[in-house]
Amino acid sequence: MAKELKEGLKAPAFSLPTDGGGKIRLADLKGQNVVLYFYPKDMTPGCTTEAIDFSGHGAAFKKANTVVIGVSKDSVERHDKFKAKHDLTITLASDESGAMLEKYGVWQEKKLYGKVFMGIVRSTILINAEGKIAKIWPKVRVKGHADDVLEAAKAL
């Protein structure tokens, strides 16, 4: 996570295109809690599991006045295919430029099989109804994560 992102601070503003030809802005979500979960790539095993888990808790998140948004660099078209293939009910936002990923500090150097490259570090940020960061989960492990996030959202 970027040093400047801390719990209790105002979440950085964003405006991104979403699946289905939509657009989402943090400013439009005021009054609701927002889960921003950042993931590396549509159609990959861990990312698919995470998206299905968040979708499976859709009604519970809604009851907790919480909107769930998955963010990656994938295109809107790829998001549409991903949602259709797995019957996902969450919103998927596309940050192809990486500007929002940088603001939220999730675009970082990664290492895999001895190679060093830049990529999205799987992370989740819970923003409260006032637009402040309530909780940060850096370097997420997928199993059970959606449950943890839901519990935190219910507590707000």
Residues 43-73 have pLDDT tens digits of 999 999 999 999 999 999 999 999 999 999 9
| Residue 138 in this model has a pLDDT that exceeds 70 | yes
Q: For residue 55, is it within any domain?
A: yes
| Residue 1 in this model has a pLDDT that exceeds 80 | no
Answer yes or no: are the C-beta atoms of 93 and 70 closer than 8 Å: yes
Domain count along the chain: 1
State the chain's mean pLDDT as an integer: 95
Catalytic residue among 16, 34, 47, 126: 47
Domain residue limits at 55: 15-154
Confidence band, pLDDT 50/70/90 cuts, at residue 36: very high
108 counts as catalytic:
no
CATH for 149: 3.40.30.10
Q: For residue 85, is it within any domain?
A: yes
**Angular region, 131: left φ>0, alpha ψ -120 to 50, beta rest:** left
| Residue 137 in this model has a pLDDT that exceeds 90 | yes
* pLDDT single digits (tens) 99-129: 999 999 999 999 989 999 999 999 999 999 9
